[in-house]
Amino acid sequence: MAKAFTPKVITANALSEGDVVYLDANDVWVRDLAQAELLTDEAVADVRLLEASAQAEIVVGVYLADMKAGPNGPEPVHFREEFRRRGPSNYFHGKQANI
pLDDT of residue 88: 59
How is residue 56 annotated by DSSP? Answer: T
pLDDT of residue 2: 75
The better pLDDT of the pair 2, 3 is held by 3
Over residues 56-78, the pLDDT tens digits come to 999 999 999 999 999 999 999 98
Share of the chain above pLDDT 90, in %: 70
Spatial separation of the C-alpha atoms in residues 75 and 22, rounded to whole Å:
12
Distance of CA 22 to the CA centre of its chain: 4
In terms of Cα–Cα distance, which of 27, 22, 25, 24 is closest to 11?
22
Predicted confidence (pLDDT) at residue 82 exceeds the cutoff of 90: no
pTM: 0.84
Rg of the chain, C-alpha, whole Å? 14
H/E element, 9:
strand 8-14
Over residues 9-54, the pLDDT tens digits come to 999 999 998 899 999 999 999 999 999 999 999 999 999 999 999 9
H/E element, 30:
strand 29-30
